[in-house]
Every structure is written in C-alpha cells, then in structure tokens.
A = this chain, B = another copy of it.
Amino acid sequence: MNIGEAARVSGVSAKMVRYYESIGLIRSVTRTQSGYRVYSDDDVHALRFIRRARSLGFSVDETSQLLALWHDKSRASADVKAFALKHVAELETKIAELQAMSRTLQHLASHCHGNDRPDCPILDDLADDSSRASR
C-alpha cells in the first residue's frame, strides 16, 4: 500500500512516516519502480505501535527503545516494566511541576478582587518575587 493509505490506517501522518524513516525509527521500506514507498501490514503495525507509544508520552528516542524491546523476543518483562515505570516517574515529576504552577496561580487569583479597580496581587507578585519569601 502507498504511504497515504498507510498513514490513514495507522493514524500517523504521511509527513511523520517519512520523518520516522529519515531518522531511522522505522526501516526504509521498498519502493515501486517510480519511487513510491510500499508498506506492508507489518509496517503499519509498527506505525501503530509508535503512535500508541507517542500518545503515552514516550519520546521518539524512548519509542525506539520500546520497539527494540518489542522485537527482542528474549527480553525479560522486568526490563519492559522498569522502562515503563521510569517513564511514569518522569510523568509524575512533570505533573507535580504543573500542579505547583497551577496552585500558585490559583492562590494569587483567589486574592485578586477581580473587579474594575487596577490593583492586583497577581501582577504584584510577578513584579516583586521577593514578596513570596517574606510573606
């Protein structure tokens, strides 16, 4: 099948399929005489795998490692589990960072009258971050 159909059935855009090939994430598929890429069901399967891994927040590099684990029939499930849990830890770190931002902003907003007067503790905080330490 052509790249367009492979893109459609895998959910990965044709643009990204070419990109993934260029960086070596997927193998270079065979071509027709005229140069069109030809994809097999296995290729589409790999593309779906990639799309799913990306949707779980794995980087392209990490996805590459997951593909290697997938193809390595002799790997231990412990290796895969450790890899997944390491990513979970990174996600949790990121979540905690965003929650800290959100919490701070909500706190500031709760002290802002939100009326038509100009004085606003949110901007006051941004303008003088030493206030955070002393208050």
**Residues of A with Cβ closer than 8 Å to B?**
45, 48-49, 52-53, 55-57, 66, 69-70, 73-78, 80-82, 84-85, 87-88, 91-92, 94-95, 98-99, 101-102, 104-106, 108-109, 112-120, 122-123, 125-127, 129
In the bound complex, what is the Cα–Cα distance between A52 and B73 (angstroms)?
A: 49
**In the assembled complex, which residues on chain B have CB atoms less than 8 Å from the CB atom of A109?**
81, 84-85, 88
**Smallest beta-carbon distance A103→chain B, Å:** 9
Of A57, A80, A99, A114, the most chain B CB neighbours within 10 A belong to A80
Copies of this chain assembled into the complex: 2
In the bound complex, what is the Cα–Cα distance between A113 and B79 (angstroms)?
A: 11
**Smallest beta-carbon distance A70→chain B, Å:** 5
Given that A81-B120, A95-B98, A105-B91 are known contacts, is A70 also in contact with B126, CB under 8 Å in the complex? yes
**In the assembled complex, which residues on chain B have CB atoms less than 8 Å from the CB atom of A125?**
52
CB pair A122 B49 closer than 8 Å:
no
Q: List the B residue with the shortest CB-CB distance to A53.
A: B126
Given that A76-B118, A80-B120, A101-B91 are known contacts, is A52 also in contact with B126, CB under 8 Å in the complex? yes
CB pair B49 A118 closer than 8 Å:
no
Q: List the B residue with the shortest CB-CB distance to A119.
A: B77
Given that A118-B73, A126-B52 are known contacts, is A92 also in contact with B88, CB under 8 Å in the complex? no
